[in-house]
Amino acid sequence: MIYSDLVWHRRQWDQLQTAVRAGRLAHAHLFHGPAGSGKEGHALELGALLNCRSPRDGTACGLCDSCLKMATLQHPDLHIVVPLPRRNPLDKHDPPLKALRPADVQNLQAQLQAKGSDPYHKVALEGAHSILINSIRELRRTAALKPAEGGWRVILIFDAEKLAQPTPAAANALLKLLEEPPPQTVFILVTDRPNLLPPTIHSRCLRLHFPALPHAGAKAYIISRYNLDPTDADVLIHTCGGNLHLARQVLASGERGSLGGAADDLLEALLQVKPRHWERLVNDLAQLWRRQPAELHYRLQMLQLWFRDLLVLSQTGSGEKLIFGHRREQLQRHLDTFPRALWGVAALAVESGQSLLERQVNPALLLTNLILDIRQAMKGREAPRVGSLAAPAGPA
């Protein structure tokens, strides 16, 4: 194996390695399932297994020349396609990296390097909302060449749902390649949101579902990587629902001491804002969504977890099971200031807002409603404005 701390999905892996052993591996797979469940890690392990010179116990040896190149993502027959921001205009024949600024290229290189050492590292560039059609064109060109090392050519498409965003141009460009793949080539499309991919892609791939990670495995990963106290790790994994991307984000957001700072700051901003500054706050957040959607998602996720902590604290009065236990004073201050607040309602409003942001909803309007909902919930009133954007209100 090339990753020492990948949490294996045994059933899925057995299915894959049995197919490899029997020589009947499908030419295109769609790995789908919740975020942070290790789909990309398994895809890379499969690529390594296919090219490994001496596989052991159904996994790549991790020691041969091919495995060492796979482990650093430097194998010449490994092609990784990720969403890229379009900073420069591109001609039809331009390589996709021409769309990036030199700093973006360096960032991408660093992130791919990080991915090589951590299966749960999320390769995400600022402003990368779609997989560029030029990436698929380049893929078509290189796929026509004979493999560099004579083994399997492994093509991984991360965040594959972005093939179809904002238009299905890249997805359509991929169809012919998926339909008539070159020999000794395997495509693995990885996505958290398979429903956003067009049916034409689904029908050409073998679907394999990766459920959320089992608690014990995710906990072991967090403890070994971050040397976290087992109780803290329990709370973190439990709250992140086994999503190791999110757990890593929480842990990487700074020192353990500032954990929750983003949520606290955002909540303070929402509570303190004066009516005349309202528009500016909403615009700032909407702009953040356009430029760094992951950052806004992260802040909203933190806010939701913060509300979750407030709910736990208000119900139990105990500091146990708190994610932001080290910020208990701030939590208590919020409880004292808003004694009638419906924290569960506020948390649900944030969750609903987050899922709506992914759809074609006007972000400024959505954020305005979200702020109103949160403020209402904190006053002890229930007003499902955010949800009403998605579906018309039912009969009274």
The answer to whether 100 contacts another protein (rule: CB under 8 A) is: yes
| 216 in contact with another protein (CB under 8 A) | no
How many Å apart are CA 201 and CA 198, to the nearest integer? 6
DSSP labels, 4-67: SS----HHHHHHHHHHHHHT---SEEEEE-STTSSHHHHHHHHHHHHH-SS-BTTB--S-SHHH
Is 181 near another protein (CB under 8 A)? no
Residue 134 beta carbon to another protein: minimum distance, rounded to whole angstroms: 10
The residues, any chain, with a CB within 8 Å of residue 58's CB and separated by 6 or more, are 13, 14, 17, 21, 49
Q: Which of 182, 241, 384, 387 binds another protein (CB under 8 A)?
A: 182
Interface with another protein by CB under 8 A: which range of 15-23, 175-183, 295-303, 372-380? 175-183
Report the residue from 26, 112, 273, 335 that binds another protein according to the rule CB under 8 A: 112
Distance CA 268, CA 241 (A): 26
- Closest CB 119 distance from another protein, rounded Å: 18
261 binds another protein (CB under 8 A): no
Q: Considering beta carbons, is residue 115 or 162 the nearer one to another protein?
A: 115
Asked whether position 97 contacts another protein by CB under 8 A, the answer is yes
The region of 1-9, 22-30, 89-97, 334-342 touching another protein under the rule CB under 8 A is: 89-97
Q: What is the C-alpha radius of gyration for the chain, rounded to an integer number of angstroms?
A: 23
Which of 18, 21, 54, 65 binds another protein (CB under 8 A)? It is 65
Cα separation values, 284 from 128, 129, 288, 340, Å: 19, 19, 6, 29
Token pair of 135, please?
């990436």
| Region near another protein per CB under 8 A, out of 37-45, 176-184, 190-198, 239-247 | 176-184
Contact 234, 322 (CB under 8 A): no
| Closest listed residue to residue 12, CA positions, set 191, 192, 221, 210 | 210
Residue 189 main-chain phi, psi, to 5 deg: -95, 130
Q: Which of residues 363-392 bind another protein (CB under 8 A)?
A: none
> Which residue, 40 or 138, has its beta carbon nearer to another protein?
138
Nearer to another protein by Cβ, of 152 and 338: the residue is 152
The residue range among 56-64, 105-113, 275-283, 360-368 that interacts with another protein, by the rule CB under 8 A, is 105-113
Binding site for another protein (CB under 8 A): 65, 69, 72, 74, 76, 80, 93, 95, 97-98, 100, 105, 108-109, 112, 137-138, 140-148, 150, 176, 182-183
